Amino acid sequence: MNKRWISLIIILAVVGSLGFIQFGDKYIMPLFSEPEQGKVWEYAHGVDRNGNIYYIQQEQEQVFLISLDSTGRQSFKKDISGLVLLNGIFDGIYTDEDKNLYLPAYGMAADSSRITQVGIYRFRDDGSFVSRVFYRSIDRPYDSKFRLISAMSDDDARLYFGFLNGDALDTYAYDKTTSKLENTHSYSLAGIQDHINACLVLPSGDAVLSLENSTLLRKSNRHEDTTYQFTQGKVIIHSFWYAGNQLYFQDAVRGDMYFSSSSIWEPYLAMRGSKVVAENGSITFGKLYPLTVGNAGNVAGVYNEGNLNRIFQGGFIFLPEIGTTDASSTRDLTAWFLLLGIAVGWLIFSLLIWDFYCNILHMRLSMLIRQALLVILVIFLTLYALATYIILPQSEEMIGSVHLTEQIKSGQMLLASAKGHITDETGLELDSTRAAAFFDQLGQNQSLALPGEEQGAQSYRSLKEAQLSLLTSDQGQYVVAASNSNYEEGFPAARMGYGKDFLNGIQKAEQNTIQAMALTGPKGEELCVLIPTGLTSAGSAVVLGLIVDLEVLKQYIAQTTGDLTLYMGLIGLVLVLLVMIVEYFTVHNVRKLKSNVDRIAEGRYEKEVAVSSGDEVEELSHSIHALSQSILVTTRSLNKLNQSYYRFVPQRFLEIIGETHIENVGKKSQAQKENVVMLFLRFRFLGSVGEQSQEIFANINDVFENVAPVVSDGTGTVYDFLPEGFNAVFETPPEEALRTALRVREVLEGLNEKRRKKGQGLVDLRILITKGNIMLGFIGEEKRMEPTAISSEAQKAEPIIRVCFESDIYIACTREVIKELPILGYRRRRIGEMMIQGEKIELYDLFDSDPYALLKSKEVHGERFELGVNLFIKRDYDNARTMFMDIIKYNSLDGAARNYMYLAEHNLRSELQQTTYTTLSELEKIR
């Protein structure tokens, strides 16, 4: 197995480990583990006229709206976590005649058992969100009477509901079409607001309320209030439903379902709670919880069997089982698709890293980086495994055990303090009246200042947010005997919303065994402690139920585990630093040797490679130093040779044709440049330059040595040295070439001053700047080649420069150049058109570097010169001659004006006219 495949296996393992750390707990492990009881909660059920069932499922931090069709198959599962209230409790789903869904929600304050928000949210039957119907901010404790939104009703146009606002019931009508909410009435609830079990608002505006002591109350804004008293024993109506013109309500004690016409107020029994709905005879109508009635009078109910919820749906005559829902999250098909996506992503990401390592890094990493990555990975994975599977679970278990012990002690202390206040004279029999009074006072007293409480006792303070209930058996079911959460005496424990484990725990606690369990209720995960009291009620044992929110404990555990994780991370960091320090000293000499070798590779050979490790690395350093000295000698010889080459072939010339080293040059080394700036420089000696070759070459080279460096420094590339000058090409804008020409003129003045002092002949120099296409390359045979340039502009330049010498023009340029120069930057004048090789070329005089007298004359007479040129072009030779004569009268040194004057005179006298600019000598050649 070669290095490539080994690296792939390592990368797959590393990326897989990191991916498992990132996604394992949330997405991977739940798919392969047994479902945890109580981690998922289903509630807020509703059913429409077609038998489609809707309910809310809460999984950890997510809230889903789920729909099942009439056969029990799931239609959709929509995540509505971002649409509804945070920390929400949901209470029933109402489906109107148009199959719109209305979901009441109550928002809980963080770390508290207080309701702070209430709202109603509207959805379509496909689960899509429509709008928020109603919203209020409130502040009240959460107890059994937390329902502040009444049961709803509707007609073709509007939805009707009520809001229990303290000692008043505010009724509202919501227009389904315009979404307008109207407050229709407000009923006074003075004296009964704390005794309401359930409420329903009818389309007529009437409100039906279920009160304690088996009483129904109907309030109306059209006539007097009416009441109905149940006489067949204890009846607790805990839910209302509206269907067509009927209203349905259920007794929580027996599970009986009643109905009544909304117009004629007379309850009738629709179905007894003892009616068997399953074939095996163990499931009765009263055991279906939660239960909901649709607007067509159809019924849907749920029977809980641990993680499995059996669904029954039909009518009051026939209520068959249609399917089940799994309360765990392991059977969600989307989770398997997500796992598949994670696996594909892991594979693609690993292959990308592998490709980068193989093709970009070429499977090479520095020793320090490779060792560091390996050490960091090993330490990180080791600490992660220790923290995840040993330290953190043990810490959570220990904290949970301490918290549970505190709750048990708190419950026992409460029970010991309360026994004298909740029993009869014997001290063994529960007095329900005294117990109810005690727990009512306990529920109102938020500080829980109980008899016997020690000052600052933490165990009592831990009960401040607890739900406390005395539970006993009555007629075969467990009921509430007294509670601080406003549960009415006789309320079935099965309908408190904690499932079968809660009932099984009560049964075990009756056997004098303390029970503790984590349950999921409407508020989320809660800790339930069931403590035997030693008391009896009508011959049945009494159990104290203590239920506290686990959110505070979770936060404390999260904080503790976060601190542990931080400490583990710091330990890991310290270990990594220690290993890195050791590793640094281990590879220090190797890295030092590498840095010296890199310096040699950069061409710095003088410094000795100083490594004193006393091992093979030091011997290698001596060998490298000897090698560097040998390379240094050879390099210096090569540099001298290259410098000799570059004296004949400029480095910049090589760069223009695309070569980097002169040894690569051949006859095929060439390049064509379009529209580049070219500078042509020619000079003459005013006086003798000597007769001996030594004197002649010395004078010519004297000019070149002063002038050529100026062009090279100005980004120009000099080529074609001639006895009378040279040519240069610029790959920059024309202005750079012009600035170079001006500097050349300045240098020439200094050179002439020196030559004047030495008694040598002065140098007269002219420059032409033009633009055009040029071909650069080498010509010759294989053993002898020279750089050259071929351009039509070079052929045109020679006659133009001759004209410049005879026209007192020191720097000239063509129209193509003048167009790219700043308008106000340089002094200029138009000379006019010249006929060169059958082509008209417009010439300009740039006279910033002219001798002072000539410069001032050109500047003063610039307009007259321009006028004369225009007259000449218009063939008004007489006036043109007069204009140029006037200029020469003031300054006879202006050669261009003098030439124009002679040309005008010639055209006046001769039939063969010269219409373009030239000099007298050139004119004679034409003749």
Q: What percentage of the chain reaches a pLDDT higher than 90?
A: 25
What's 149's DSSP letter? B
> How sure is the predictor about 660, in pLDDT bands with cuts at 50, 70 and 90?
low
Q: What's the mean pLDDT in 186-205?
A: 89
pLDDT attached to residue 786 = 77
Q: What's the mean pLDDT in 665-681?
A: 83
The tokens for 347 are 């594979």
Burial class (CB in 10 A: 0-12, 13-18, 19+), 205: middle
Instruction: Provide the edge-to-edge strand list for the sheet that holds 74-79.
Output: 40-47, 53-59, 62-68, 74-79
pLDDT at residue 160 greater than cutoff 90:
yes
Most confident of 26-35, 339-348, 605-614: 339-348
pLDDT attached to residue 453 = 43
Burial class (CB in 10 A: 0-12, 13-18, 19+), 896: buried
Select the more confidently predicted residue: 29 or 531: 531
Q: What's the mean pLDDT in 794-816?
A: 93
H helix runs in 24-78, sequence order: 29-32
Residue indicated by tokens 């003031």 = 890
Q: Which long-range contacts (CB under 8 A, 24 or more apart) does 669-672 make?
A: 669/777, 669/778, 670/775, 670/776, 670/777, 670/778, 671/775, 671/776, 671/777, 672/773, 672/774, 672/775, 672/776
Distance (Å, whole) CA 408 – CA 516: 9
pLDDT attached to residue 545 = 85
pLDDT attached to residue 648 = 59
For residue 537, the SS3 value is strand
Select the more confidently predicted residue: 499 or 266: 266
Q: What is the pLDDT of residues 303-362, one digit of tens each?
A: 877 667 788 888 877 778 887 775 444 445 666 666 777 778 778 877 777 777 677 766
pLDDT attached to residue 371 = 64
Q: What is 746-787 written as a DSSP string?
A: HHHHHHHHHHHHHTPPEEEEEEEEEEEEEEEEEEEETTEEEE
Peptide bond before residue 290 is cis, with ω within 30 degrees of 0? yes
Say if residues 161 and 148 touch (Cβ distance below 8 Å). Answer: no
Q: Give this prediction's pTM.
A: 0.57
Q: Which of 250-259, 357-366, 871-880 has the lowest mean pLDDT?
A: 357-366
What's 84's DSSP letter? S
Select the more confidently predicted residue: 886 or 468: 886
Distance (Å, whole) CA 440 – CA 729: 103
Distance (Å, whole) CA 917 – CA 809: 13
pLDDT at residue 216 greater than cutoff 50:
yes
CA 680 vs CA 713, 718, 766, 772: distances in Å: 16, 10, 8, 13
Q: What is the pLDDT of residues 426-473, one digit of tens each?
A: 878 888 788 777 877 776 664 444 444 444 444 434 556 678 888 888
Select the more confidently predicted residue: 195 or 578: 195
Say if residues 54 and 365 touch (Cβ distance below 8 Å). Answer: no
Distance (Å, whole) CA 811 – CA 189: 107
| CB burial readout 697-734, b (16+ within 10 A) else e | eebbebbeebbbebbeebbbbbbeeeeebbbbbbeeeb
> How sure is the predictor about 380, in pLDDT bands with cuts at 50, 70 and 90?
confident
Q: What is the pLDDT of residues 468-511, one digit of tens each?
A: 888 888 877 888 888 887 788 888 887 777 777 778 888 888 88
Q: What is 272-327 written as a DSSP string?
A: -TT-B-STTS--BGGG--SEEE-TTS-EEEEEEETTEEEEEEE-SS---EEEEEES
pLDDT attached to residue 457 = 40
- Which three-class secondary structure string do you get for 66-78? EEECCCCCEEEEE
> How sure is the predictor about 561, in pLDDT bands with cuts at 50, 70 and 90?
confident
Q: Residue 670's beta-bridge partner residues?
A: 777
pLDDT attached to residue 754 = 93
Sequence-distant (6+) residues with CB within 8 A of 120 are 102, 103, 104, 105, 132, 133, 134, 135, 149, 161
Q: What's the mean pLDDT in 610-624?
A: 72
Distance (Å, whole) CA 7 – CA 700: 69
Q: Which of 184-188, 288-292, 775-779 has the lowest mean pLDDT?
A: 775-779
pLDDT attached to residue 738 = 94
Could you list the beta-strand ranges (E) of 820-880: 828-836, 839-846
pLDDT at residue 817 greater than cutoff 80:
yes
Distance (Å, whole) CA 323 – CA 72: 5
> How sure is the predictor about 83, in pLDDT bands with cuts at 50, 70 and 90?
confident
Sequence-distant (6+) residues with CB within 8 A of 308 are 324, 325, 326, 327
What's 25's DSSP letter? I
Select the more confidently predicted residue: 155 or 652: 155
Q: What's the mean pLDDT in 132-146?
A: 84
pLDDT attached to residue 40 = 59
Say if residues 470 and 541 touch (Cβ distance below 8 Å). Answer: no
pLDDT attached to residue 649 = 66
> How sure is the predictor about 743, in pLDDT bands with cuts at 50, 70 and 90?
very high
For residue 621, the surrounding DSSP H or E stretch is helix 616-646
Q: Which amino acid is at 97?
A: E
Q: What's the mean pLDDT in 884-901?
A: 90
